[in-house]
Amino acid sequence: MARLDGKVVLTPYVLPGEVVRAEVERVKRDLFRGRPIEVISPSVARVSPPCPFFLHCGGCHYQHTESSFQVEQKRLILQEALRRVGKIEFTGEIQTVAGEPWGYRNRAQLHIENGSIGYFEHGSHSLCPIDYCAITSPALNDAIAKLNGHVLPRVTTTVELFTNETETQFHVWDRLPAVGYRLFESLGTNGPIDYDGFRVSPNSFFQVNRFLIDALVQCAIGDRGGNLAVDLYAGVGLFSARLAARFQTVTAVESSRPAFQDLQFNIDRRALPVIAENKPAEEYVAGLDRTPELILADPPRTGLGKDVVRELVRIRAPHLTIVSCDPATLARDLQGLLAGGYRIDQLTMVDLFPQTFHLETVVQLVLGS
């Protein structure tokens, strides 16, 4: 962010303190966007991006700076979002967890247009063709190479790929001619695959960083234990399985039917002391008349929302953990929870998405001053 004649100019691919030459266009009355043309005075944290598609492909945003600098900037971004959106002045330490910054993604969403495979360019629906992706796993790059080796003329579609590095799962968004579908079948399966003991179907959510899954779960649960825990937005049961080893009973709540079916399968296969509920989190917490020792919530990017926040304040579980992928909605939700009697006990920024501006936050809340 820079200022020009008192107006805010947002310019991507520029680091704090740098002097650049940029083209500027007006977006709104008091907001301008810049396109960098030349870096006149580079930051000491600037590095040469290793990926030839960077600046064209919209998948990455931070390849022009070293990984440790990315982590520190994300910590500051989280702190600023809490202050700006939630009016939360957190004075404690924001811990950070980071892992391997390359080849970490186990899931990719690729676009195919007339024989070209790639990602959309930043802020557009124009395709940036690629022949590999520096942040995806080896198995996914093998799939990208195979798709590039078979031209699919007159085919426009999106395919989601997910892998455990042994099997690759594909989910095609559109109907395809038989020859196109056979190509995707050669990549793997359009059915469930096993990921570290969890069955995951094409429409089920699972964490995308293959190196930090265990660290994220440990950060969220820690050494908590007791009689009853509730896992909201449970997905296929990633957190529920660990909770079941520490609590006598766990209730896992998931609204998506495909994910719920995987959740129930994973509970039964492992013989876990988990009760699965196929309903929205809002509906479940509105009817909850017990007080669990721990409620863990891993909501989508839209966050908990005011209805869930209101019910959590009513339930008053002594320990509440939120796993969030959006700092702004997290700040909004925390504002309501803090006003309702909770305080932040521990705050951790987990760098699940290196080379991008996305970040994960784990917040452990407790009741009382």
pLDDT digits (tens, 9 = 90+) for 234-267: 999 999 999 999 999 999 999 999 999 999 999 9
What share of the chain in percent tops pLDDT 70?
Answer: 99
Sorting pLDDT into bands at 50, 70 and 90, what band is 137? very high
Query: With 80 as the cut, is the pLDDT of residue 28 above it?
Result: no
Query: With 70 as the cut, is the pLDDT of residue 339 above it?
Result: yes
For position 179, what pLDDT does the model report? 72
Model confidence, pTM: 0.93
For position 271, what pLDDT does the model report? 94
For position 180, what pLDDT does the model report? 74
Residue ranges of the chain that CATH labels 3.40.50.150: 71-100+209-367
Query: With 80 as the cut, is the pLDDT of residue 51 above it?
Result: yes
Whether 316 and 367 have beta carbons less than 8 Å apart is answered as: yes
For position 369, what pLDDT does the model report? 64
Query: With 80 as the cut, is the pLDDT of residue 30 above it?
Result: no
For position 78, what pLDDT does the model report? 97
pLDDT greater at residue 8 or residue 299: 299
| CA count, 13 A, side-chain hemisphere, 353 | 18
Distances (CA, A) of 119 to 80, 115, 133, 152: 30, 13, 10, 16
For position 159, what pLDDT does the model report? 92
The Cα–Cα gap between 75 and 268 comes to 39
pLDDT greater at residue 241 or residue 124: 241
Instruction: Provide the CATH number for the domain formed by 71-100+209-367 in this structure.
Output: 3.40.50.150
For position 80, what pLDDT does the model report? 95
- Rounded mean pLDDT of the chain? 94
The Cα–Cα gap between 270 and 196 comes to 12
Sorting pLDDT into bands at 50, 70 and 90, what band is 152? confident
Q: What does the pLDDT average to over 340-347? A: 96
Q: Tens digit of pLDDT for each residue in 202-235?
A: 999 999 999 999 999 999 999 999 999 999 999 9
Indicate if the alpha-carbon torsion angle 126, 128, 134, 137 is positive or negative.
positive
Query: With 80 as the cut, is the pLDDT of residue 177 above it?
Result: no
Query: With 80 as the cut, is the pLDDT of residue 63 above it?
Result: yes
pLDDT greater at residue 155 or residue 367: 367
Surface-to-core class of residue 70, CB atoms within 10 Å of its CB (0-12 exposed, 13-18 middle, 19+ buried): buried
Q: What does the pLDDT average to over 107-115? A: 91
Sorting pLDDT into bands at 50, 70 and 90, what band is 194? very high
Q: What does the pLDDT average to over 175-190? A: 83
Sorting pLDDT into bands at 50, 70 and 90, what band is 355? very high
Q: Taking Cα atoms as reference points, which of 279, 365, 280, 274 lies closest to residue 316?
A: 365
Find the range with the poorest average confidence among 66-80, 174-188, 264-278, 341-355.
Answer: 174-188
For position 105, what pLDDT does the model report? 98
